[in-house]
Amino acid sequence: MSELKYKRIMLKLSGEMLGGERGFGIEGSALQYVAREIAEVQKTGVEIAIVIGGGNIWRGARAAGWDMDRANADYMGMLATVINSLALQGILEAKYNVYSRVMTAIHMAELAEPYIRRKAIKHLSKGRVVIFAGGTGNPYFTTDTAASLRAREVSADVILKATKVDGIYDRDPEKHPDAVKFKELTYFDVISKKLNVMDATAITMCMESAIPIRVFKLSEQGSVMRAISGDAEGTLVH
C-alpha cells in the first residue's frame, strides 16, 4: 500500500450501494460491507465525511409522471437519505466501534444534529465520521451537489465517488463492451463530454475550489483504502 495522500476526505455513496444486488431497500450484508470499508480507513487517522443518496428508498425523479410537485418529491428523497445515514451510523458504532455523527440539513433534533459547519469540522478533527444527511436542505439539488458543497465547506482534500463501475468510461461499459476507460480527466472534459459522473453544478463547484474527484468501484474489498493511497484506483477528475 502506498502512502496515504489525503488527510480529510468526502466519500459520496449512492443509496443503491446499501441495496445490495437488488439496489433498493437496505440489505444487511451490503450495509455491513460499506461500514467495514469506512472503518478500515478511519483506523488510519484519515478524517471521513460522508454524503449518502436516497435512491434505494425514494428518488424524486420517480414522481415526474405522478403529477406530484417536484419540490415535495425532493423533500421525500431528503428524508430517505436520513434513513440511510442513520442505518450506516448504527452499524459503524455497534459493529465496528467507530464513533460517528449524523448532521442534517433539515432540522430534526430528535434524530440527528443540525448541520453547523464549525461543529462538523470539530467532529472531523476529533476523528469522528460525519455523515451529512438531507442533501443541501433545498429541492432541485442532487446529493452530488450536496457532497461538493459540504466538501468545500469542511475543506476536504478530495471527493471519493463510489460507484458500481471501476471509473469513468466514454460510454456505458455494461452496454458497450468496447467502452474506453479514462485514467484522468479535467473538470471541463466531464462537462463538455456529458459523461454524467456528477451533475454540472457539482462539477463546477469542485472546479471553482480545485477539489479533485476520484471515481472508483466500491464493490472490491479495500477499494476505499486504495483510493486514498498513491494507487491509481478508478478515474481522477482534476
Say what percent of the chain tops pLDDT 90: 76
For the stretch 49-106, pLDDT in tens is 999 999 999 976 666 677 788 899 999 999 999 999 999 999 999 999 999 999 999 9
Q: How high is the pLDDT of residue 1?
A: 47
Phi and psi of 130, rounded to 5°?
Answer: -110, 120
**Residue 1 included in any domain:** no
**Residue 189 included in any domain:** yes
Q: Which residue has the higher pLDDT, 230 or 130?
A: 130
Whether residue 152 is predicted with pLDDT greater than 70 in this model: the reply is yes
Q: How high is the pLDDT of residue 230?
A: 62
For the stretch 163-182, pLDDT in tens is 888 899 988 888 888 999 99
Whether residue 231 is predicted with pLDDT greater than 70 in this model: the reply is no
**Residue 89 included in any domain:** yes
Mean pLDDT of 22-29: 90
**Residue 56 included in any domain:** yes
Residues 6+ apart with CB under 8 A from 217: 162, 163, 164, 165, 166, 167, 223, 234
Q: How high is the pLDDT of residue 67?
A: 79
Rounded-to-integer distance, Cα 50 and Cα 183, Å: 24
CATH number of the domain at 206, please.
3.40.1160.10
**Residue 2 included in any domain:** no
Q: How high is the pLDDT of residue 128?
A: 98
Number of structural domains the chain divides into: 1
Question: pTM for this structure?
Answer: 0.93
**Residue 3 included in any domain:** no
Given a contact cutoff of 8 angstroms between Cβ atoms, the answer to whether 237 and 183 are in contact is: no
For the stretch 195-223, pLDDT in tens is 988 999 999 999 999 999 999 998 778 88
Residue 130's nearest CA partner among 148, 151, 106, 109 is: 151
Print the domain residue range for 64.
Answer: 8-237
**Residue 179 included in any domain:** yes
**Residue 203 included in any domain:** yes
